[in-house]
Homo-oligomer: A and B are copies of this chain.
Amino acid sequence: MRADYINPFIQSLCTTFETMLSCEITRGQLYLREPNTALHDISGVIGLSGNAQGTVVLSLDKKVALAAASVLLMCEAEEINADVVDAVGELTNMVAGGAKAKLEEYQLSISLPSVVTGTGHEIRFPSNVTPICVPFNSPWGPLKIEVGLAAVQQLAGAH
């Protein structure tokens, strides 16, 4: 599996933040994720299946989550409540959906987002998948995206 599958996710994340939140984000250096790397305060997780299987994680600092949710909900969000959780899930969904459209060859379908909270939570990938992590900075604080994707046999993809 080539590692350039990460680019559609990076593009999709930048576009989502720019068009949905009028927020320009700056990309940091991408790296292969090591175990025991805690995420930010709240993370949206979407499973990808099709001719490739994997997971995309969008992890946001609490301040970023609250600011983004405030824009999407058009009212001030002050704590991580059900609306903020939905907003983070929806952002993750937009990022995954945008990337999926650019990764047509894998005929990906995407799961419902689930959102993980809890100090120091970590989303671990299977040991045969090395997720690529890309940190970003925004005027609201830090965020990052982690993507692990592995090609599957054509037959298995036809489930």
Contact = CB atoms under 8 A, between A and B. Distances in A.
Interface of A: 35, 38, 45-50, 53-55, 57, 82-83, 85-86, 89, 107-127, 129, 148, 150, 159
Total copies of this chain within the assembly: 2
Nearest to A50: B109
Contacts of A48: 47, 111-112
Nearest to A88: B124
B55 A114 contact: yes
Contact of A114 (B45, B110, B118, B150): B45
Contacts of A107: 159
Contacts of A119: 118-120
Q: Which 7 A-B pairs have the closest CB atoms?
A: A47-B47, A47-B111, A118-B121, A121-B121, A115-B124, A109-B159, A49-B109
